[in-house]
Amino acid sequence: MLYILLSVCCSISVAILLKIARRYEINIQQSINWNYLAALSLCYLTFSPDFKILNNSVPWKFYFPLSILLPVIFLFLAESVKNIGIVKTEIAQRLSLFIPILASYFIFGENISLFKFFGLTIGFMAIFLTLNRKSESTNENNSWIYPLFVLFGFGIIDVLFKQIALYSEIPFTTSLFIIFCGAFCIASLITLYYLIFNKRNLTWQSFLFGIVLGIFNFGNILFYLKAHKALANNPSTVFAAMNFGVISIGTLIGVTVFNEKITRINYLGIACAVMAVIIITISQLYAY
């Protein structure tokens, strides 16, 4: 359980860093760029990816979209934390689990049990209730767009990562390094665009902040993989504990530390989110 706790802490730390970045005039886009430099460096040092096994069968059809989606959705994640806070953003990210479940039914032809369908229904209710926000400000009324992009984006990313995990010819850790390299290249192109056309300058603050961000981002992945390895016979335990931990600790920190405003309807949405994750986790457990 130590690995799960460390993974949860790293995940929450990423959200906290994104939350406080604006206070110190950190350029988030540049930080996300350097975040992938740190992540791929740590991936190389930790996993020692084997490039000799790469051949013509490399699944570029999964690598390319992941390389693009990772930095782009990270930007939406940062905007979501900025606009609606840690609590709702983390829940939107955790509820992205519905996307791979729906994909397994509509794309891969798997059956969805009545129990799992019930969990999905509660999950969609949770999305509506959690993101519900009354405001007279037009900008705030449109803020729900960011967590929806986070939800669908991370859901698609999860589907693509599952495809890579099933690809037995290349180790997952080697694929992860290649994807981080691609994400760094895409993020660098975005940075270059802003440097040329928006006349922005590179800053040391954003570089250092990005390195710290990358350490926690990679730590989240590393400890999550280690948790699955340590509890190989209980994948649902890892999945459930990770989601419960992020939702509960994220809510606690968002409300107490950052004074995020949560309405009664939002709390009902949080409760529905937890219930949906429990139901889907149980349905996955009995599916094996």
Q: Tell me what pLDDT residue 138 has.
A: 46
Q: Tell me what pLDDT residue 284 has.
A: 65
Q: Tell me what pLDDT residue 214 has.
A: 97
Q: What percent of the chain stands above pLDDT 90?
A: 46
Query: How deeply is 15 buried, as exposed, middle or buried, from its count of CB atoms within 10 A (0-12, 13-18, 19+)?
Result: buried
- Residue ranges of the chain with pLDDT lower than 50? 136-138
Q: Tell me what pLDDT residue 213 has.
A: 97
Give dist(CA 140, CA 269) in Å, integer: 19
**Which of 57, 155, 63 lies closest to 104 in space, CA to CA?**
155
Q: CA dihedral defined by 177, 178, 183, 186, rounded to 10 degrees?
A: 150
- 78 and 16 Cβ atoms separated by less than 8 Å: no
Provide CB contacts within 8 A for 77, sequence distance 6+: 18, 89, 93, 150
Q: Tell me what pLDDT residue 202 has.
A: 92
b/e per residue 170-194 (b: at least 16 CB within 10 A):
bebbbbbbbbbbbbbebbbebbeeb
- 155 and 99 Cβ atoms separated by less than 8 Å: yes
pLDDT digit string, tens, across residues 235-267: 667 777 888 889 889 999 999 999 998 889 989
pTM of the model: 0.88
Give dist(CA 238, CA 170) in Å, integer: 24
Q: Tell me what pLDDT residue 136 has.
A: 44
Q: Tell me what pLDDT residue 52 has.
A: 84
Q: Tell me what pLDDT residue 248 has.
A: 86
